């Protein structure tokens, strides 16, 4: 069967790893007001992340209220590590065991999106590639020698890192590293459809992680423009009042 190799310029056109080791972050373009995206991201989070990573600063009850999910829907679709909706998103895996298995205790993900940024997370989850020298068999373009395995590989497919020489606009040749998706079963059209779906999956997951970093963010943003509007009107009345007082003083 014909071996189909898709260059990263087709899959991730903006991700080019320079020889210096830096990587240009791609735009996540997520939207925390998109409730359907948040629901899809929550499902991915509990199925692929919550086995090793906790999110102990957010409660299932708050997620249900913000994402439009009933207690029954929470228990059926998201609550695999808890019994009551008032519990937080914790895990049962002991820290000592996780450190022995992975070399480091997986961090809590409650505020990772705030600490790293959504663009970093988006690029990171798209940047895994095969590396036999690593215990997990993979490495990452954004986080070198990462201890985390590529848990989403079935949704994305495997990538490999290749180096090639390119010439810039000034005629200078330099080496760059790129990722290539390798697959020998699907056509280009089928593979591109899978790629598009994976990118959307990652965007949904990053969207949910941004949400749990500050669940009140949507309310804060909605309230913010109202406060600014009020201050604008108040400034007009304050100016007119000031003008009226100072007219008598003058």
pLDDT tens for residues 35-81? 999 999 999 999 999 988 999 999 999 999 999 999 999 999 999 87
- Do residue 86 and residue 202 come from a single domain? yes
In a 10 Å sphere around its CB, with 0-12 CB exposed, 13-18 middle and 19+ buried, how is residue 192 labelled?
A: middle
Give the HSE-up count for residue 212: Cα atoms under 13 Å, Cβ half-sphere.
29
Q: How confident is the model at residue 168 (pLDDT cuts 50, 70, 90)?
A: confident
- Do residue 90 and residue 144 come from a single domain? yes
Which residues pair with residue 183 across a beta bridge?
4
pLDDT tens for residues 191-207? 788 889 999 999 999 99
Distances (CA, A) of 145 to 103, 128, 132, 134: 11, 11, 11, 7
- Do residue 155 and residue 70 come from a single domain? yes
- Do residue 62 and residue 184 come from a single domain? yes
The neighbour count for residue 123, using CB atoms within 10 Å, is 25
Write down the pLDDT at residue 70: 93
Q: How confident is the model at residue 3 (pLDDT cuts 50, 70, 90)?
A: very low
Q: Is the pLDDT of residue 27 over 80?
A: yes
Per the document, the length of the chain is 250
- Do residue 135 and residue 243 come from a single domain? no
Full domain range(s) for residue 143: 4-215
- Do residue 198 and residue 224 come from a single domain? no
Tally of structural domains, the chain: 2
CATH code at position 11: 1.10.760
- Do residue 129 and residue 201 come from a single domain? yes
Q: Is the pLDDT of residue 229 over 50?
A: yes
Q: Which two tokens stand for residue 28?
A: 């996540």
Q: Is the pLDDT of residue 245 over 90?
A: no
- Do residue 206 and residue 187 come from a single domain? yes
Report DSSP state, residue 32.
T
- Do residue 128 and residue 229 come from a single domain? no
pLDDT tens for residues 101-122? 777 788 999 999 999 999 999 9
Write down the pLDDT at residue 20: 35
């Amino acid at each position: 069967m014909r071996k189909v190799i898709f260059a990263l310029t087709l899959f991730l056109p903006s991700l080019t790893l320079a020889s210096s080791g830096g990587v240009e972050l791609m735009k996540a373009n997520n939207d925390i007001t998109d409730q359907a995206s948040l629901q899809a991201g929550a499902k991915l989070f509990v199925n692929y992340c919550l086995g090793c990573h906790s999110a102990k600063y957010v409660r299932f009850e708050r997620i249900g209220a913000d994402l439009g999910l009933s207690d029954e829907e929470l228990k059926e679709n998201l609550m695999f590590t808890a019994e009551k909706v008032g519990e937080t998103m914790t895990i049962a895996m002991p820290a000592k065991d996780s450190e022995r298995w992975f070399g480091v205790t997986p961090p809590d993900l409650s505020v990772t999106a705030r600490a790293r940024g959504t663009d970093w997370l988006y690029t990171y989850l798209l940047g895994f590639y095969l590396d036999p020298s690593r215990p997990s068999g993979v490495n990452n373009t954004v986080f070198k020698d990462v201890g985390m395995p590529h848990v989403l590989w079935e949704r994305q497919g495997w990538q490999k890192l290749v180096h090639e020489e390119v010439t810039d606009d000034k005629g200078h040749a330099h080496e760059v590293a790129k990722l290539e998706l390798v697959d020998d079963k699907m056509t280009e059209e089928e593979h591109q459809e899978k790629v598009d779906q994976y990118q959307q999956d990652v965007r949904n997951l990053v969207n949910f992680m941004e949400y749990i970093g500050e669940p009140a963010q949507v309310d804060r943003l909605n309230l913010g423009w109202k406060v600014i509007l009020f201050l604008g009107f108040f400034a007009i009345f304050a100016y007119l009042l000031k003008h009226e007082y100072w007219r008598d003083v003058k």
